Amino acid sequence: MLRILRARWKQGFRTVGFPDKPPILPRMYRGRPQCDPAKCRAGCKACVEACPTGAIHRKGSGVSIDLGRCLFCADCTDACPTKAIEFTSEYRMATRGRNDLVADDRAYAVAKALDGQARRLFGRSLKLREVSAGGCNACEADTNVLSTVVFDLGRFGIQFVASPRHADGLLITGPVPKNMELALKKTYEAVASPKLVIAVGACAISGGVFADNPEAGKGASEVVPVDLYIPGCPPHPITILDGMLRLLGQIE
């Protein structure tokens, strides 16, 4: 017993200080991309042609980047001859609307909190049923790690449950292929109203790399209404946590 207590004392406090303290992100972390119009060469489409999911479009003197389709693969930064595009360390990327996921010369609209009644219902206790709808397990892994001692999702009153009948909403990962559409609809219907839906990752938002496949859909919103979009491939656990807490009004 003394040996166990000594080991625990040496380990110290393992839970991250977020959201009270800024998160410590890896040096190689790729956050929200941005384009510098001053560096963007007129007429150049190198980044547009390099993007594997068609997330980049020319806009004025710069480009717009759809984070709902972006894989954060950095093919665009490698292709850009003037290095106009870069990935920042900005982890706050979750939005309430699909159109808000477009990063361009406008201010990026991060997720707003639910209305007063919804916040009273879910603000202190939110139970989610996770649905892996054809995912590769990357988004699933970064979601599951939120329940570990490092992130400790339960301290915010958020928990994952086994049954949709015990849940307040769904957290969806994967591109929702045709053979998962009915299962997702039935799971959504099994959650009592009012309910929330969170789409995590490029696949769940837009279909990701599978968007043009006839057997895969273009995201969860084609099957069920979505209240929160969290981009990434996969999104960092802090990005997922930040989006959830903004939705519940626990951070602004």
| pLDDT for position 106 | 86
Give the pLDDT confidence score for residue 3 in this predicted structure.
84
For 33-90, CATH number out of 3.40.50.150, 3.30.70.3270, 3.40.710.10, 2.102.10.10 equals: 3.30.70.3270
Could you tell me the pTM of the whole model? 0.93
Question: Low-confidence residues of the chain, pLDDT below 50?
Answer: none
Which among 132, 197, 126 is positioned nearest to 161, based on CA atoms? 126
The CA angle 109-202-37, to the nearest 5 degrees, is 50
Residues 6+ apart with CB under 8 A from 190: 163, 164, 165
Which overall architecture, per CATH, does domain 116-247 show?
Answer: 3-Layer(aba) Sandwich (3.40)
* In the chain, ranges of CATH 3.30.70.3270 domains: 33-90
Q: Where in the chain is the domain with CATH 3.40.50.12280?
A: 116-247
Q: With contact defined as beta carbons under 8 Å apart, do 31 and 90 qualify? A: yes
Return the pLDDT at 10. 75
